[in-house]
Amino acid sequence: KTLFPFSLREKDFPRHICVTGMSGSGKTTFAINLLKNFVKRDKPFLVFDWKKSFRPLLKEDASIMCFTIGNEGVSNLFKTNINRPPKGVSPKEWINALCDLLTESFNVSFGVHKILLETLDEIFLGWGVYEGSNLFPNWEHVKKMLEIKSKEAKGRESGWYESALRVATVLTFGDFGKVINYDGKKSLSIEDLFTKKAIFELNSLSNIEKKFFCEYVLTYIYKLKKAGADRASEEFNHAILVDEAHNIFLKKNTNFMTESVTDMIYREMREYGTGLICLDQHASKLSDTVIGNSACHVAFQQQLPQDLDEISSLMQLKDKKEIFTQLPVGSAIVKLSERYTSPFLIKVPFNELRNENLEDTKIKNKMDCVIKGIEVEKNDPEFKKALLGEPQKKAMKRVKIIPHASEEFFIGKTLTKTQEVLFEFVLSKLRANRKLVEIERLLDSGIHSGYYTKKDVLIVMNKALEEAFRKTFKKNPCENKPFSEEIRSKDFPKDLLAEEMDLVNFLLLNPENEFSTVEIYRHVGFSPRKGNIIKNKLLEKGIIKTMEERNTKGWKKLIRLEDSYSNNSNTLSVKN
């Protein structure tokens, strides 16, 4: 019988979670439920998605980013130079780690490791990296150096160079080569994504490319955290979900190291507040490090005898291993160290997102806007500096606190410091002949940075519209005739709530928008549930109306102001 809800505490995640079970048993649904809870609590996470299973999460939270690694036609926007070390890590330490990683990922010999290490060291020296240069060679340069050196190689070294060149060829081939050998202005580093929610879709890559990319990112994060100025903390601050985990944490002997790089990362990552969540169909294929260092094991239905032996022994149910073959879809047995002395049964609720689908075109359009926002944040430091102003603590010392004063939101003549900076940014783009719609999308894409809000964007765009109208009026003056009664609009009721005003202001500024109701709620900053409540209140008051429009995919519901209000040019503000 059902007893009570099962949940995990934040401090359970840094001790890692291992989820196993045959295909279709409920692993992905369980993982989606976990990630939805991270979204609710605004916890950053990174997902290695091997089969495009997690992209429906973008419907849950617009700030989630989805990178289709190696698929240039959709969102191959994560581009970096793998030779560039994490912040705080010396170049020599990094090329050692990188060569260990390449040796493990490509399963080559210690001789190839030696060739790669010597070549990277030589080319770093030639580029002045050890002397402080910020220019780093990529693997196109390394490949050329290997080709030159291989001509002089003899005996065993000749074979090593041949293997090293095969590695370099994989690292420079096709769209994947563009991902890991880019060092231009639009490059992204792991640091850029570390405080955000991101999904890496790997289905376009070959198995060896998938394996190397995952191991590279894990190694980069580990080295970055280890070199960080902050003390090691076990407080949960970031989650990494690895699908098809046996490809990264495989139970096998390493060539020349006592322990694989990824196993070492799995053991030590908990010290830095990062929780790893491993999903796999076969418990018997996972390394002993993963099995032995996961404080929480979630076992769905198993059928393979080796898996049954592994998981029943782990759960201390060796004499009842048949239980795992009889579990229905969505049910799992959990062993949670410290909190419960015995394993117990849970039922995972089905999530509608599991059956949702998100087209490539929507991913592409969304991610193009997101990357533009990151570029503004990274490549326009003066804009960012002006936007941030002085540090918050310093500013608070001279701010007079008025007890019981409520926050006011004005769309009027007075702009805050942040809004002034945004307004200047809008004017500069207008002078560059950018359209207002494009500028608004660009500002919207930067909201996730936290430096300004959707309200700030609405205020600034309204101000820009007023300026544009004023200039047009001066150029083309018209006769001063009174408006006819037919087009005179009503004044809005004075008892509107602040949230109702937000929606009304959006409709005033976007009278002919083609957004769906959910998209409008997202622009204004409402959840679907809250947005429906506000919409229904405004419908009752006769201020808005809903319309249905037919398109190629069926009927689409639109929200418009009632005709008697649609010509009102005054936006609303909250006043005491």
Nearest to 268 by CA among 247, 291, 246, 293: 293
**pLDDT, position 409:** 38
**pLDDT, position 257:** 57
Q: Coil, strand or helix: which one is 441?
A: helix
CB atoms within 10 A of CB 302: 27
Rounded to an integer, the average pLDDT of 130-140 is 91
> How far is the C-alpha of 96 from the C-alpha of 105, rounded, in Å?
14
432 versus 143: the higher-pLDDT residue is 143
State the DSSP string of 210-246: HHHHHHHHHHHHHHHHHH-SSPP--S--EEEEESSGG
What are the beta bridge partners of residue 334? 298, 344
**pLDDT, position 513:** 79
Residue 93 — pLDDT band, cuts 50, 70, 90? Answer: very high
> How far is the C-alpha of 377 from the C-alpha of 370, rounded, in Å?
11
**pLDDT, position 435:** 76
Nearest to 25 by CA among 332, 336, 346: 332
228 versus 204: the higher-pLDDT residue is 204
> How far is the C-alpha of 59 from the C-alpha of 53, rounded, in Å?
13
pTM over 0.75: no
**pLDDT, position 397:** 46
Tokens (6 digits) for 129: 């990296």
Nearest to 139 by CA among 175, 101, 182: 182
Q: Coil, strand or helix: which one is 181?
A: strand
Could you give the C-alpha distances from 573 to 87, 412, 443, 538, in angstroms and in order?
A: 45, 8, 21, 16
Region of 284 please: left (phi>0), alpha (psi -120 to 50) or beta. alpha
DSSP-derived secondary structure letter, 286: B
Element (H, E) at 409: none
Each residue's pLDDT tens digit, 15-53: 899 999 999 999 999 999 999 999 998 899 999 999 889
**pLDDT, position 484:** 39
CB atoms within 10 A of CB 207: 11
Tokens (6 digits) for 73: 């036609």
> How far is the C-alpha of 287 from the C-alpha of 274, rounded, in Å?
19
433 versus 309: the higher-pLDDT residue is 309
Please state, rounded to an integer, the average pLDDT across all residues of the chain.
81
563 versus 377: the higher-pLDDT residue is 563
Residue 120 — pLDDT band, cuts 50, 70, 90? Answer: very high
State the DSSP string of 38-78: HHHTT--EEEEESSS-SGGGGGT-TT-EEEETT-TTT----
> How far is the C-alpha of 76 from the C-alpha of 67, rounded, in Å?
6
Each residue's pLDDT tens digit, 161-176: 999 999 999 999 989 9
- The sheet carrying 45-49 orders its strands as 65-68, 197-201, 45-49, 238-242, 274-280, 17-20, 296-299, 331-336, 344-347
Residue 548 pLDDT > 80 = no
**pLDDT, position 272:** 87
Please name the residues in contact with 91: beta carbons below 8 A apart, sequence gap of 6 or more: 85, 124, 129, 130
Rounded to an integer, the average pLDDT of 543-557 is 73
Each residue's pLDDT tens digit, 482-539: 433 343 446 777 778 888 888 888 888 888 777 888 888 888 888 888 888 898 888 8
What are the beta bridge partners of residue 435? none
Residue 575 pLDDT > 50 = no
Q: Please give the domain boundaries of the chain with CATH numbers for all domains.
A: 10-71+185-355 (3.40.50.300), 91-175 (no CATH), 360-475 (no CATH), 485-566 (1.10.10.10)
